[in-house]
Homo-oligomer: A and B are copies of this chain.
């Protein structure tokens, strides 16, 4: 199941076909419009005129490309990854509905990583120049955007901690707890879900090899903390997972 397709760019679809206004979007409370008034959301809606389907394996943007827009994940699942000059790859994050992609490009005007869909997905394109102008008019939008960027900084701090000081099983526990919490915030089960990424991608994110990820999954299953079957995960003992993460046993 090789997912890196040869297509380089997503295919824009007829905007009308996918038109779902922010105002009507069930993600509005966790996405960019969070905290905006109705009028403000309407203004944002005028900006977000392009909704795009991204097929599994396709990239929303790639490292080196000129930065033009940020993207809100409307549905589906993405990974972002950076690549060293000699081709080693680091997954820097996984993104799900309501989360924002592409903020890495603002600083230098070009993207520093790739954003690749791990399943067929939909994104809302938010042209950055216009977004900046709008957030200049709408203080609450500006405020919220700053929060979104700040939270991304804090998230990455957490990953640095994970990579810097935690052991293999602690890392996997942290990863599962984080997924659980984010899925839960979106109305899904906190204890039962399907992973969208491979063991190798999990490993890359957590700074370990796929075999080590697999062994940690097996260990958790042996200890009756989770039940795993391929991509299906059922957390049987959330507290045990939290203890592994927190107490660093």
Residues in A lying within 8 Å of B, measured CB to CB: 82, 84-86, 88-90, 92, 103-108, 112-113, 132-133, 135-136, 139, 142-143, 145-154, 156-161, 163-166, 204-205, 207, 246-248
Contact = CB atoms under 8 A, between A and B. Distances in A.
A63 to B, nearest CB: 10
Contact of A106 (B90, B146, B248): B146
B90 A160 contact: yes
A111 B144 CA distance: 17
Contacts of A146: 106-107, 132, 145, 149
Closest 5 CB pairs of A and B: A107-B150, A106-B150, A163-B163, A107-B151, A156-B156
Contact of A142 (B88, B136, B166): B136
A227 to B, nearest CB: 27
23 contacts: A82-B157, A84-B161, A84-B165, A88-B165, A90-B160, A90-B161, A92-B157, A103-B153, A106-B147, A107-B148, A107-B149, A107-B150, A112-B157, A113-B157, A132-B139, A135-B142, A136-B142, A149-B153, A156-B159, A159-B160, A163-B207, A164-B204, A164-B207
A153 B150 CA distance: 9
Given A92-B157, A107-B148, 17 more contacts: A85-B246, A86-B246, A88-B248, A89-B165, A90-B161, A104-B154, A107-B146, A107-B150, A112-B157, A132-B139, A132-B142, A153-B153, A153-B156, A156-B156, A156-B159, A160-B160, A160-B163
Given A106-B146, A142-B132, A148-B107, A112 B161 contact: no
Given A106-B150, A139-B136, A150-B149, A82 B161 contact: yes
Contacts of A136: 136, 139, 142
A108 B154 contact: yes
Contacts of A92: 157, 160-161
